Amino acid sequence: MRLSSCHIRVEQFWEERDLLDPKLRKAAAMEGGNDPSEFLPLALPGDGAQTWINVISMQPCLSSSSVSKSQMLLIPIPKAAVNTSEKLEEDTMRHIWKALVWGCKHIFGG
């Protein structure tokens, strides 16, 4: 896909969104003065299947490709290895999300 057509699709994506949607409230694209059309929309899909493993993956919202061709595996982690805790320093997924956010900021933000 050419960059210009990608830019148009990103703009169209954001034009079709209700920017007051509560799901977008804490998104970086909505923070003070940011232009949402400068942000590439990505989804973190989950099918809710009852399995022995948590799979965190990412896929572009603008892709016309099938999920199997557009989805990128970020991390698989056995559910038995996940500790859920009210104490943030002991919560496994908090540490995983913190590492993923750090990586994304450096990849996409430079």
The mean pLDDT value of the chain amounts to 77
Sort strands 53-60 and 72-78 into parallel, antiparallel or unpaired: antiparallel
Do 45 and 92 belong together in one domain?
Answer: yes
Do 27 and 65 belong together in one domain?
Answer: no
What is residue 52's three-state secondary structure? coil
Do 33 and 55 belong together in one domain?
Answer: no
Question: What was the pLDDT predicted at 45?
Answer: 58
Strand partners, 56: 75
Do 63 and 108 belong together in one domain?
Answer: yes
Question: What was the pLDDT predicted at 46?
Answer: 56
The per-residue pLDDT for range 39-85, each reduced to its tens digit, is: 777 765 555 556 777 778 877 777 778 877 877 888 888 888 888 88
Domain span at residue 29 reads 1-40
Do 47 and 36 belong together in one domain?
Answer: no
Q: What percent of the chain has pLDDT over 90?
A: 0
Do 92 and 53 belong together in one domain?
Answer: yes
Q: What percent of the chain has pLDDT over 70?
A: 83
Q: Above 50 in pLDDT, residue 1?
A: no
Do 107 and 84 belong together in one domain?
Answer: yes
The Cα 39–Cα 88 span in angstroms is 29
Question: What was the pLDDT predicted at 52?
Answer: 79
Do 33 and 46 belong together in one domain?
Answer: no
> DSSP code of 48?
-
